[in-house]
Amino acid sequence: DDATVRVLRDLAFDLAREAGELIVDERPDALGVADTKSSEVDVVTVMDRRSEEVLRARIAAARPDDAILGEEDGASAGTSGLTWVIDPIDGTVNYLYGHPFYAVSVAVCVGDTAREGAWLPVAGAVAAPELDRTYVAGHGQGAEVVDRAGRRRPLAVSGCKRLELALVGTGFGYEADKRREQGQMLASLLPRVRDVRRAGAAAIDLCFVAEGILDAYYESGINAWDQAAGQVIATEAGALMSGMPGLPAGKTMAVASTPKIHEALRGCLFPAAR
């Protein structure tokens, strides 16, 4: 019900904020790309782990019956039917380089997060500390962005009506084979839109759609933790979201856009399904 969603949304907000502050305040000085070549991956993993540990401990204390699915430590079971889906640092490569587009993503989902299309986020928050933005939404309650001073702004998608005029975000996985496929999809889209951005953090991309900074975002092979919080934020701001032909947004594909360009965008991404 509404009251529960509000409680979950507020908790997601506090948790994302807290972990967001942690990863900024305690970002190791030695994280410069040039001088950490041999250990850079380890250093990032340490901060990912610390952030996830804090999130897990807070969730276990406040919501002991809920399950948790996190990028670093996998799944832990619960009995309530709710699963917290968390990405302790989304945009890890940006974080490593000191590029400000990284975030902590915290969502609460109903359904089975292990099965494609069988889960739905009902509340979520994305804290992007270096952008001074924490995005938050609850199902049926709209989406907003809050700055450090506590100023709140409601979110709404842009008014984009034509794919040719759309600024479209996307993302790529880390595997070469996957990237070859993603490159082909991008090649067919690029001549048909205003331009394309690759910001490096799926959670922020989805929030940018919610805020009207992007008109659309898509990515194939996206993980639940990169997507869940951004999904409820984008849809509450008026975006349409879908997945592979005939499926809701899920692990294999996420497409988010203003309502008017959704079909045209899908037609471009899945020409065979038309």
Binding residues for ligand IPD, rule: CB under 6 A, are 71, 87, 90-92, 171-173, 200-202, 219, 222-223, 226
Q: Is 93 exposed, middle or buried (0-12, 13-18, 19+ CB in 10 A)?
A: middle
Pairing verdict, β 133-138 and 152-154: unpaired
In the complex with ligand IPD, the residue whose CB is nearer, 36 or 223, is: 223
Using CA atoms, how far apart are residues 149 and 77, in angstroms rounded to an integer?
A: 37
Q: Contact at 8 Å (CB) between 124 and 5?
A: no
The annotation status of 21 as a binding-site residue, yes or no, is no
Question: Could you tell me the smallest distance in angstroms from the CB atom of residue 115 to ligand IPD?
Answer: 20
Question: Could you tell me the smallest distance in angstroms from the CB atom of residue 169 to ligand IPD?
Answer: 9
Angle formed by the axes of helices 40-62 and 2-25, nearest 10°: 150
Question: Could you tell me the smallest distance in angstroms from the CB atom of residue 103 to ligand IPD?
Answer: 9
In the complex with ligand IPD, the residue whose CB is nearer, 92 or 235, is: 92
Using CA atoms, how far apart are residues 197 and 261, in angstroms rounded to an integer?
A: 17
The annotation status of 144 as a binding-site residue, yes or no, is no
> In the Cβ-directed half-sphere of 23, how many Cα atoms lie within 13 Å?
38
The annotation status of 147 as a binding-site residue, yes or no, is no
The DSSP secondary-structure symbol of 111 reads: E
Question: Could you tell me the smallest distance in angstroms from the CB atom of residue 201 to ligand IPD?
Answer: 5
Question: Could you tell me the smallest distance in angstroms from the CB atom of residue 172 to ligand IPD?
Answer: 5
Residue least distant from ligand IPD (Cβ) = 171
In the complex with ligand IPD, the residue whose CB is nearer, 3 or 176, is: 176
In the complex with ligand IPD, the residue whose CB is nearer, 151 or 174, is: 174
Pairing verdict, β 119-128 and 103-111: antiparallel
The annotation status of 71 as a binding-site residue, yes or no, is yes
The annotation status of 89 as a binding-site residue, yes or no, is yes
Question: Could you tell me the smallest distance in angstroms from the CB atom of residue 174 to ligand IPD?
Answer: 7
Q: Contact at 8 Å (CB) between 25 and 160?
A: no
Amino acid letter, 104: V
Q: Contact at 8 Å (CB) between 109 and 85?
A: yes
Using CA atoms, how far apart are residues 164 and 166, in angstroms rounded to an integer?
A: 6
Residues that constitute the known binding site for Mg(2+): 71, 87, 89-90, 226
Residues that constitute the known binding site: 71, 87, 89-90, 226
